[in-house]
Copies of this chain bind each other. A is one copy, B any other.
Amino acid sequence: MVDILHKVGIRGANPDQVYQALTTLPGLSGWWTTNTTGDVRVGGVIEFRFGPGGIDMKVRELDPGKHVLWEVVAGPAEWIGTTVSFDLRHEGDWTLVYFKHAGWAEPVEFMHHCSTKWGSFLLSLKSLLETGKGRPSPDDIKLDSWELDKAA
C-alpha cells in the first residue's frame, strides 16, 4: 500500500473556516470541482463530477475544525476503497492542512498524476480561503491531453 501525502498552510484562516471548505457543498465547489452534490453528513455520499466521470466519496469521519475522512465508493478502479483524509492544525496565523490519500495498491502511473492534481487542488483550497477565489474543475490546470479531452 502506498499513499499520496501533502501539506498546505493557509494564512489568515482559522481551522473552522477551512473545515467549512471541506465539509459543505459551497466550500467543496469552490476549490475541487464546481459540480459537487450529495449528502455531506457522516454516512452520506458526496458526488464529485469532472466532465463525464467522477468520484463518489462516503463521509466516514467528521471532527469539526480538526478532521475529515472520506472513503471512495465509486470512481476510477484504482481509487475504489482508498481513503482521503484532511487533518487540521492551528499554528499562529495559519491553519495547516495535512492531506493523505491512502491505500493505493501500487504506485502506478495514474498515482503520479493524482498526486500532482491533489497538490494543485490543495493550492486551490489555499487560494480560495486566502483570496476568496479558488481554481476548481473545470478551470483547473490540465496536466495532459487526456484531461483536456475529458474536459472538452
Residues in chain A within 8 A of chain B (CB atoms): 2-9, 11, 91-94, 96, 98-99, 107, 109, 111-113, 115-116, 118-120, 122-123, 126, 141-145
User: Is B144 a contact partner of A6 (Cβ separation < 8 A)?
Assistant: no
User: Is A113 a contact partner of B143 (Cβ separation < 8 A)?
Assistant: no
User: Is B2 a contact partner of A116 (Cβ separation < 8 A)?
Assistant: no
Known: A112-B98, A115-B119. A91 touches B7 (CB 8 A): no
Contact among B4, B99, B118, B145 for A92, CB-based, below 8 A = B145
| Copies of the protein in its oligomer | 2
User: Is B3 a contact partner of A144 (Cβ separation < 8 A)?
Assistant: no
Measured CA separation A122–B112 after assembly (Å) = 12
Could you tell me the distance in whole angstroms from the C-beta of A130 to the nearest C-beta in chain B? 10
User: Is B143 a contact partner of A8 (Cβ separation < 8 A)?
Assistant: yes
Could you tell me the distance in whole angstroms from the C-beta of A145 to the nearest C-beta in chain B? 6
Of chain B, the residue at the smallest CB distance from A92 is B145
What are 18 pairs between A and B in contact, CB < 8 Å? A2-B3, A3-B107, A5-B111, A5-B115, A6-B112, A6-B115, A7-B116, A7-B143, A7-B144, A8-B116, A8-B143, A9-B142, A92-B145, A98-B112, A116-B119, A116-B123, A120-B123, A123-B141
Known: A116-B119, A119-B120, A120-B119. A145 touches B7 (CB 8 A): no
